Amino acid sequence: MSIHKTEAFIIKTVPFRSSSLIVTCFTKQFGKVRGIAKGVHREREIRQAGYELFNRVEIVFYEKKRSDLHLITEAEILDSHDAMRNRLEGIAYASYFCELADELTEIHDPHPKLFDLLKAGFHFLPVISPGILTPLFEIQLVREMGWIPFLDSCLGCGMKPLEKGFFSIRHGAIFCEKCRSKDPAAQLLGPPVLLTLRAYSQEDFETCLRMNQSRHGINQIGILTSQFLNYRLGKVLKSRKFLESIKPALK
C-alpha cells in the first residue's frame, strides 16, 4: 500500500455509513482519485471542514493496489474559496464545473491542465460574470479532453479560411455555405463569434478573459457549448439542470 501526498480539489462527496465519506478529488499529480475518509463526522469540526466541496486541499491517501477506492487520512485546506461560496450563483456554477470534471475524466488519468483550469475557474467566479466564464471553461475543458470542435476549415470540402461558418453539434465541426446541407441543424456563426471560439480553443485562460466580446456573441457561444456537451455526454448534467432552474431568480 503506497502513501501519497498531493494537491487536490474536492469535487464530490457521498456519505458512507454513519460517520464517513466517500470523497472524489481531482489531483494535480494523479488525476481523479476516490477514497474513504473515515470517521470525519465523529472528529473535530476542523477535520470535517477539509472535505467541503470546492476546497483546494493537500491530501494524504493510501493507495490500494486492488481497488480504486483508497483511504484518505488528511485534507489540509489551502483555499476554501469563501468569496465564491457567498452567493448561490457561485455555488451553482462551481458545482457545474466539478460535475463536468467528474464526468469527463477517468480514475487515475492525470490532467494537470484541468487542475489548473479548475483553479482558475474558482478564482474568477466571484469577480467575473459566469455567463462569460462558463463557455470559456467548457471549451478549454473539452480541448484538454480531446473533444475540441474542428474550427479551422469546412469539414465537408476543406475550404479555408472561413470567416463565417455553420456549426454542427452532431459533427463537432463547421461547414461552409455549400456544405451546410450535410447538417440542416447547423447554426450560423458570424465572424466575431467564430474568431472568439478559435481563440478560446487555442489561447490560455487569462488571455481569453481579456478579449473584448459582445454580450450577444458570448450568449451564442454559451448556448452552443452547452448543447455540444449535452450531445457528447448523452444527457444534461444535474448541476446544469439546477443552473437553468435558478437563472430567472439570478437576473
Q: Are residues 246 and 138 in the same domain?
A: yes
CB 58 within 8 A of CB 8: yes
The boundaries of the domain holding residue 73 are 2-80
What does the alpha-carbon distance between residue 121 and residue 116 come to, in Å, rounded to a whole number? 9
Our count of domains for the chain comes to: 2
Model confidence, pTM: 0.93
Closest CA to 116 of 129, 131, 97: 97
How much is the mean pLDDT over the chain? 93
Q: Are residues 181 and 216 in the same domain?
A: yes
Is a pLDDT exceeding 60 seen at residue 4? yes
Q: Is residue 90 part of a domain?
A: no
Q: What average pLDDT does range 186-191 have in this prediction?
A: 95
Is a pLDDT exceeding 80 seen at residue 250? no
Q: Is residue 87 part of a domain?
A: no
- pLDDT tens readout for residues 45-91: 556 789 999 999 999 999 988 899 999 999 999 999 999 999 999 99
Q: Are residues 171 and 214 in the same domain?
A: yes
CB 84 within 8 A of CB 126: yes
Q: Are residues 67 and 107 in the same domain?
A: no
- pLDDT tens readout for residues 113-130: 999 999 999 999 999 999
C-alpha grid cell for residue 238? 444535474
Confidence of residue 191 (pLDDT cuts 50, 70, 90): very high
Burial class (CB in 10 A: 0-12, 13-18, 19+), 82: exposed
Give the CATH number for residue 155: 1.20.1440.120
- pLDDT tens readout for residues 159-169: 998 999 999 99
